[in-house]
């Protein structure tokens, strides 16, 4: 894993989110878990080599941030916003998160097949939150402070984790650094407000949900990406373009690659980003929900 500071470690080169941990004088705090089973097991072992895991914090409910919780059972209390807890691995008309995690095994973690739980076993105890909160929450662990800030937008239960002693903030998917941003059902206006909240923090390092570790300057780039999507689809609606025409004509695929292991989903991202914004601007009900 990449060592950002002497006490902050993250992994930015796996399929899935950027799972991380922070070493304190009284154990370790994990922030998000690897989607891939063998990587989750390895990360737990590495984290525990620095001391007992005191807390496992999830920044959002999307499967790439939470599936690995299963392999951290017994390793500290799991801390989640109520919005994460309520949506933890919930099957929706759009996605079966269990199957989505499973489909990555043959290509990205073949050895993980041996420890991938069957559905009933997994859902019997996926290791979801035992400390569930609304708004913000502050945890003190040894010599470190963990400020869990509600930053909705990408998801309703989204949080950022600010560790002032390390001058670092873990943003979850409020920031996609130098890779495609997944909008889907996001609330872009809330997302922009959350970026402004993160911008007000006094930090040197921004650890995004996806992509390389960056600095606060990148928050402006993420904001611009969101505004560009919003403006492009708003212009399409103003021109009277249909949902299908908007999907065909509004596309930012040339701006960034897709994050590791998911290049085949570029068209999927562009389609759903454009479609979800078109639905919001027009008040239309998405076809899959009719």
> Domain check: are 66 and 201 in the same one?
yes
Residues 136 and 267 in one domain: no
Q: Are 178 and 254 within one domain?
A: no
Which pTM value belongs to this model?
A: 0.96
In which residue are the tokens 């989640």 written?
Answer: 80
Shared-domain flag, residues 267 and 194: no
- The domain boundary, picked from 175, 195, 224, lies at 224
pLDDT band at 287 (very low <50, low <70, confident <90, very high): low
CA distances 243 to 226, 248, 268, 273, Å, are: 19, 9, 15, 11
> Does 230 lie in the same domain as 220?
no
The number of beta carbons lying within 10 Å of the beta carbon of residue 77 is 13
Please check whether residues 117 and 251 belong to one and the same domain.
no
- Cα 274 to Cα 277: distance, rounded to the nearest angstrom: 5
User: Which of residues 224, 241, 276 is at a domain's end?
Assistant: 224
146 and 87 in a common domain? yes
* CATH number, domain containing residue 10: 3.60.15.10
Same domain as 278, residue 210: no
Of the residues 197, 224, 251, which one is the last residue of a structural domain?
224
**Per DSSP, which regions of 32-134 are E strands?**
53-57, 77-81, 131-133
Does 119 share its domain with 262? no
Q: Over the stretch 146-200, which tens digit does the pLDDT of each residue have?
A: 999 999 999 999 999 999 999 999 999 999 999 999 998 899 999 999 999 999 9
Residue 229: band (very low, low, confident or very high) from pLDDT cuts 50, 70, 90: very high
With 0-12 / 13-18 / 19 or more C-beta atoms within 10 angstroms meaning exposed / middle / buried, residue 190 is middle
Number of domains observed in the structure of the chain: 2
Query: Does pLDDT of 290 surpass 60?
Result: no
Domain that holds residue 266: 225-289
Say how far apart CA 138 and CA 141 lie, in whole Å.
10
Does one domain contain both 232 and 208?
A: no
Q: Based on the domain organization, do 9 and 138 belong to the same domain?
A: yes
pLDDT band at 257 (very low <50, low <70, confident <90, very high): very high
Please report, in angstroms and rounded to a whole number, the separation of the first and last CA atoms in the chain.
Answer: 44
């Amino acid at each position: 894993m990449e060592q950002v500071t002497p006490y902050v470690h993250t992994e930015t080169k796996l399929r899935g989110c950027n799972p991380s941990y922070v070493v304190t004088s009284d154990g370790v705090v994990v922030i998000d878990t690897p989607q891939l089973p063998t990587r989750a097991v390895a990360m737990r072992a590495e984290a525990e080599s620095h001391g007992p895991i005191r807390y496992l914090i999830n920044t959002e409910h999307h499967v790439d941030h939470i599936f690995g919780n299963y392999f951290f059972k017994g390793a500290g209390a799991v801390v989640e916003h109520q919005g994460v807890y309520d949506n933890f691995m919930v099957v929706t008309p759009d996605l079966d998160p269990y199957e989505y995690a499973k489909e990555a095994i043959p290509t990205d973690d073949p050895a993980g097949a041996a420890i991938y739980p069957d559905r009933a076993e997994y859902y019997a105890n996926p290791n979801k939150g035992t400390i569930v909160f609304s708004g913000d929450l502050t945890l003190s662990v040894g010599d470190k402070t963990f400020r869990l800030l509600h930053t909705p937008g990408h998801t309703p239960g989204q949080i950022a984790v600010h560790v002032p002693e390390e001058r670092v903030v873990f943003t979850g998917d409020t920031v996609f650094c130098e890779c495609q941003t997944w909008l889907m059902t996001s609330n872009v206006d809330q997302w922009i407000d959350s970026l402004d909240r993160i911008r007000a923090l006094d930090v040197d390092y921004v650890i995004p949900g996806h992509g390389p570790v960056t600095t606060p300057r990148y928050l402006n780039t993420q904001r611009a990406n969101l505004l560009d999507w919003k403006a492009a689809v708003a212009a399409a609606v103003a021109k009277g373009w249909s949902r299908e025409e908007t999907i065909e004509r509004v596309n930012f695929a040339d701006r960034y690659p897709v994050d590791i292991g998911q290049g085949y989903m570029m068209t999927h991202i562009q389609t759903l980003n454009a479609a979800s914004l078109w639905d919001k601007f027009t008040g239309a009900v998405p076809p899959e929900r009719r």
